[in-house]
Amino acid sequence: MQAHVKSLNFGYKTDLTKLKIKYYNCFASFMDKHTISLDNGKGKIETVTAEKIVIATGGRPTYPDIPGAKEFGITSDDLFYLKSAPGKTLVVGASYVALECAGFLTAFGYDTTVMVRSIFLRGFDQQMAQKIAAYMESTHTKFVYNAVPKCLEKQENGKIKVVYQVGEEEKSEEYDTVLFAVGRSAATKSINCEAAGLKVEKNDKIKVNPYEQSNIPNIYAIGDVQYGRLELTPTAIMGGSLLAKRLFNKSKVLMDYDNVPTTVFTPLEYGTVGLAEEEAISRYTEKGIDIYHTQFKPLEWAFNKTAERMGYVKVIVVKKTNRIVGFHILCPNAGEITQGISIAMKCGLTKTQLDQSVGIHPTVAEECVDLHITKAEDPNATKTGC
């Protein structure tokens, strides 16, 4: 993996050189709203000025404020730098990063436990999140529910003792590796935003307007440093590309932060675009929407007699307009399907148009065009036959 990342970075540097873009491998910090200090880490500091400045420093994983967390725990950033196998692992958190890491560690054969404080996949559709957790539990990932770690202690045998709280009860367990996936913070603390007059929120993020501008008009922010926006790499790339075109190519196209597709790469992939069920009910009320759904067994699982695994798909439809405002699917290769559906939703996809589309047999995607039972009619709708 490290070799792959290095090759990507080398390619980016090469492209910058070809395009005659000056690249500084330095740590940047503000001196004022037009001036940047560049520190190469080897004693050389220089300054550059610019009419416009874009902050795209991304985010970094955070640690909980408990004894031993930073001394004995790691984050997802560290996982691929380990010199030895992680062994028995505790993953603290229930974000998509936490569940993805736990999923592949279990698949590699490691004894893996996820410590969940409250809910799975905060911000995502909660029915889908619960189905992912149930699937992972059935495929040997362990879960400790309603628990928070209190401290980490290194033992004489080299293992890490985790003391944690479950309700009123205090418990402990030893692990070889403890991985924290409890959230990320924007990497803005050390770039001296104050010198430029930038307003930074409590979570270190920067509020921007629809043009990606901060409170200082010549300073823009893109990606994970934006306050209240999606923390997704493709979103940042698209936002940056559109900003460049507006600044230098007379474009007027703004980034659309609605209907952004994404996939959670848990052992059972979860593809989604548009509103979660909870959001749709809040926005349109339960009487204003229909939710079409079905459970199904992908053909590639049909001959697997070791587990009763089921896929699931649902679409959320506004009754008044017939417009699809939410799509959710759990199945192998969910991301590939979701990308196609997201394009259609960008074009205003209706349930009627979905119904009139011919399915490709025997793909998982054909289940998306054969949805005729609502949750209200049958909460446990299941596809039978082909």
User: 10 Å Cβ neighbour count for 277?
Assistant: 20
CA–CA gap between residue 150 and residue 143 (Å, rounded)? 17
Could you give the CA distance from residue 151 to residue 172 in angstroms, rounded to a whole number?
10
- If one counts every other C-beta atom within 10 angstroms of the C-beta of residue 304, the result is 11
CA atoms within 13 A on the CB side of 13: 8
Could you give the dihedral angle defined by the CA atoms of residues 324, 329, 333 and 338, in that order, rounded to the nearest 10 degrees?
A: 20
Give yes or no for a cis peptide into 362 (omega within 30° of 0). Answer: yes
Residue 34 known to be catalytic: no
Host H or E run for residue 243: helix 233-248
Cα 379 versus chain centre, distance: 28
* Exposure string for 349-362, b = 16+ CB within 10 A, e = fewer: bbbeebeeeeeeee
CA atoms within 13 A on the CB side of 289: 24
Q: Could you tell me how many residues make up the chain?
A: 386
The catalytic residue among 4, 140, 361, 372 is 361
Q: Would you please indicate which residues are annotated as catalytic (active-site) residues?
A: 361
